[in-house]
Amino acid sequence: MPNDSTLTPGVNTRPTTAGKSETARWFYPLILRLHFYIGLLVGPFILVAALSGGLYAISPQFEDMLYASALNGEADGDPQSLAAQIGAARSVVPDLTLAAVRPAPEPGKTSRIMFSDPSLDIYEHRAIFVDPITLEIKGNLAVYGTGALPLRIWIDYLHRNLHLGEFGRHYSELAASWLWIAALGGLTLWIMGRRKRNQAPALRATDAIPSGQRRKRHAALGLTLLLGFLFLSVTGLTWSKWAGGNIADLRAALDWGTPSVNAQLDTPTPAVSDQAQQAAVFDGVLAVARNAGIDAGLLEIQPSNDPQRAWKVREIDRTWPTQVDSVAVDPSTFGIVDQANFVDFPIAAKLTRWGIDLHMGTLFGVANQLLMLGLALGLCTMIVWGYRMWWTRRPLPRASSATKATRLTTHWLRAPISARLLIVIVTAFLGWALPVMGVSLAAFLILDVLLMLYYARQTARVSA
């Protein structure tokens, strides 16, 4: 029966005397090699995601300065009705369909009258910024989500898909899929390296334990930011296309979905064709919502063009304490159809809401923004240090072929059969749950096998 040396030329196959030593002999180098591949091949994607995410976290302040003229209006005086504000906005875009209204959140701020614009991307609206006191048109901008303006929209698309559309989403999913593995792998290497550094000649023989101040700084920073990296990875995956879909299915199966109001009407609403009459309904719907406890400054009124559906009023204040209550109102009777209050959400839905808002840097205001920026810069620093360590420790052209032959596949083949099967099972499960990670891991293995075969031929050529 052939041993590992016949399968992987150049591999040290000296027997060990203890189970722990045998495990350390293959497991540590395996994790180290995987950590190396993630850093070398996925690192650039994680770097871009970290930089763009850090920029997004601090972008609200830049938007406040850049779009100050659109966001600010008269501070003194009584605001006019929403119907009057909608009428002023319609004069700018008479051919667009009204989609939502966001009343001025506080004195001195403008209202956003939002229209569906076919020239914009999905989930974007054309917002006309109206001074609620003077009815002056202060701005005409694209908006996205709960308040992102063009600058933040651009950064968001960079973070999400590199401005490459649906295909580009694979990049951010690749980064999120591997970040948690890289973080936990680094923790494993630190724990095992600390235990074995002074008593592992077999590991040192294969150069498995790097040394130097850069390694120590890299490890120290990684340990300090470990929980943050895990958080960014997990929350980032919830937005991804493939893994995010699996997470959504799991949440649905466990009944962890976020509650929403039921807007179905028992009696259809009479159609209102006159735009002025429809605009006047906004004031009545808002008054009913206020009486029902929708008291946040930041809120959105969504009309319905379907006579079978009620209008919705929802809070959109994602800071702490979170205000995301919502209510459905019958626009013909001004009666409450349904209501969903955040205080009644199941804990899983609350954690999801808080996790998303914390990831976006909105939950705790400036402190949250600085935290996200710090995590982003720390992650970028670790990647740069990792590349520096690789460059200074990369194999030289005349390095021994035995050293070059220690690849990911090599270390896996060193493991006992039971460990190999366990690794295959765990890898298959992760590949199913995180498809982009699975495909990229397959690419890693193909590259690894090709390198191993190349160096095997090099060894055979030298021997000949």
User: Domain for residue 314, yes or no?
Assistant: yes
Phi-psi region of 128 (alpha: psi -120 to 50; beta: other; left: phi over 0): beta
Q: Is residue 400's pLDDT more than 70?
A: no
My answer on whether 24 and 171 are in the same domain is yes
My answer on whether 217 and 263 are in the same domain is no
**Which pTM does this prediction carry?**
0.88
Query: Which residue among 122, 148, 174 closes a domain?
Result: 148
Structure tokens at 168: 């580009």
Q: How many angstroms separate the CA atoms of 355 and 169, rounded? A: 20
Q: Which residue has the higher pLDDT, 268 or 314?
A: 314
Burial class (CB in 10 A: 0-12, 13-18, 19+), 310: buried
Which has the closest alpha carbon to 48: 157, 181, 152?
A: 157
Q: How many angstroms separate the CA atoms of 331 and 303, rounded? A: 9
Structure tokens at 454: 């190349």
User: Domain for residue 51, yes or no?
Assistant: no
- Cβ neighbors of 233 (< 8 A, separation 6 or more) are 176, 177, 179, 180, 183
**pLDDT tens digits for 185-206?**
999 999 988 876 655 554 444 4
My answer on whether 238 and 296 are in the same domain is no
Which has the closest alpha carbon to 452: 10, 59, 3, 2?
A: 10
User: Domain for residue 371, yes or no?
Assistant: no
**pLDDT tens digits for 149-178?**
999 999 999 999 999 999 999 999 999 999
pLDDT at 310: 97
CA 156 to chain centre: 10
Give the pLDDT mean for 53-82.
97
Q: Which residue has the higher pLDDT, 404 or 167?
A: 167
Enumerate the β-bridge partners of residue 313.
301, 327
Kindly state the greatest CA–CA separation across the chain: 93
pLDDT at 209: 47
Q: Which domain holds residue 284?
A: 259-344
My answer on whether 41 and 176 are in the same domain is yes
pLDDT at 45: 98
Query: Which residue among 282, 313, 344 closes a domain?
Result: 344
Q: Is residue 385's pLDDT more than 70?
A: yes
User: Domain for residue 57, yes or no?
Assistant: no
My answer on whether 429 and 285 are in the same domain is no
| Side-chain-side CA neighbours of residue 334 (13 Å) | 13
**pLDDT tens digits for 312-344?**
999 999 999 999 999 999 999 999 999 999 999
DSSP 59-104: HHHHHHHHTHHHHB---SSPPPPHHHHHHHHHTTSTTSEEEEEE--
Query: Which residue among 114, 148, 182 closes a domain?
Result: 148
Q: How many angstroms separate the CA atoms of 86 and 356, rounded? A: 32
My answer on whether 247 and 271 are in the same domain is no
Q: How many domains does the chain have?
A: 3
My answer on whether 336 and 267 are in the same domain is yes
pLDDT at 288: 97
User: Domain for residue 329, yes or no?
Assistant: yes
pLDDT at 21: 63
Phi, psi at 139, each rounded to 5°: -175, 160
Cβ count near 21 (within 10 Å): 16
User: Domain for residue 52, yes or no?
Assistant: no
My answer on whether 99 and 113 are in the same domain is yes
User: Domain for residue 361, yes or no?
Assistant: no
My answer on whether 128 and 206 are in the same domain is no
My answer on whether 182 and 42 are in the same domain is yes
**pLDDT tens digits for 19-62?**
566 777 899 999 999 999 999 999 999 999 999 999 999 999 99
User: Domain for residue 362, yes or no?
Assistant: no
My answer on whether 176 and 37 are in the same domain is yes
Reduce the DSSP state of residue 301 to 3 states and report it. strand
Radius of gyration of the chain (CA): 29
Enumerate the β-bridge partners of residue 148.
144
Measured in Å, how far apart are the chain's first and last C-alpha atoms? 26
My answer on whether 308 and 451 are in the same domain is no
